[in-house]
């Protein structure tokens, strides 16, 4: 049974909106894609407007000609979301992260940090990076994706601490991930 309620999300882009030439408009902030204060203002306005989550798409390749176009993506989305986590209270914070180009442990560590800093408001759009320029560099992208999502969800987020035993997080519960993303428990 559904509640009949809609979840509203808002996508942040490079700071200029979706119009390709918006950066050329009079009064446009030419540093918009790096202006964290601007993103804080946008996020706070979205939260006041009852938006439930912010989404930042990302790709590990430069996908525009910077001679003629502004970047599609802002500076590092995890860092932007970490800033937003401290400046907002309820809104969800979601970004894309490539399992093709980031080691499973690094992804898990980064998203766990955002989850802790945001008090449980972090979300991850796990992708294998289908962009031809990025994808051709890794033939093992799907096995790495599995390993990264497995490591993130079952090992790090479900960490258990026990005050009664001298055990913070048993190393046997973590498993081992090879450099190629093959997870072994």
- Answer whether residue 87 is part of any domain: yes
Which residue range(s) make up the domain with 96? 9-184
Per-residue pLDDT of the chain (185 residues; tens, 9 = 90+): 567 888 899 998 777 776 777 778 888 887 887 889 999 999 999 999 999 999 998 877 777 777 777 776 778 899 999 999 999 999 999 998 888 778 888 888 999 999 999 999 999 988 876 666 655 555 555 555 555 555 445 444 444 455 555 544 444 444 444 444 443 43
- Answer whether residue 2 is part of any domain: no
What integer pLDDT is reported at residue 112 of this predicted model?
92
The CATH number of whichever domain residue 110 belongs to comes to 3.20.20.30
CA 83 centroid distance within chain? 13
Give the count of domains, the chain: 1
The span from the CA of 117 to the CA of 26, in Å, is: 37
- Answer whether residue 80 is part of any domain: yes
Q: Is 121 exposed, middle or buried (0-12, 13-18, 19+ CB in 10 A)?
A: buried
- Answer whether residue 4 is part of any domain: no
Assign 162 to helix, strand or coil.
strand
pTM (whole model) above 0.75: no
- Answer whether residue 180 is part of any domain: yes
- Answer whether residue 1 is part of any domain: no
């Amino acid at each position: 049974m559904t509640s009949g309620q809609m979840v509203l999300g808002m996508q942040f882009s490079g700071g200029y909106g979706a119009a390709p030439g918006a950066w050329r408009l009079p009064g446009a902030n030419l540093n918009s894609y790096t202006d964290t204060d601007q993103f804080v203002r946008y996020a706070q306005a979205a939260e006041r407007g009852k938006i439930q989550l912010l989404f930042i798409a990302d790709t590990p390749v430069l996908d525009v000609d910077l001679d003629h176009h502004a970047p599609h993506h802002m500076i590092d989305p995890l860092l932007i979301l970490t800033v937003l986590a401290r400046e907002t209270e309820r809104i969800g914070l979601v970004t894309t992260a490539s399992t093709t180009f980031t080691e499973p442990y690094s992804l898990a560590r980064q998203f766990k940090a955002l989850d802790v800093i945001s008090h449980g408001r972090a979300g991850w759009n796990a992708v294998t990076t289908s962009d031809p320029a990025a994808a051709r560099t890794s033939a093992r992208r799907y096995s790495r994706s599995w390993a990264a999502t497995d490591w993130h969800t079952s090992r790090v987020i479900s960490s258990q601490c026990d005050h009664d035993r001298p055990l913070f997080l048993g190393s046997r519960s973590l498993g081992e991930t090879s450099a190629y993303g093959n997870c072994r428990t």
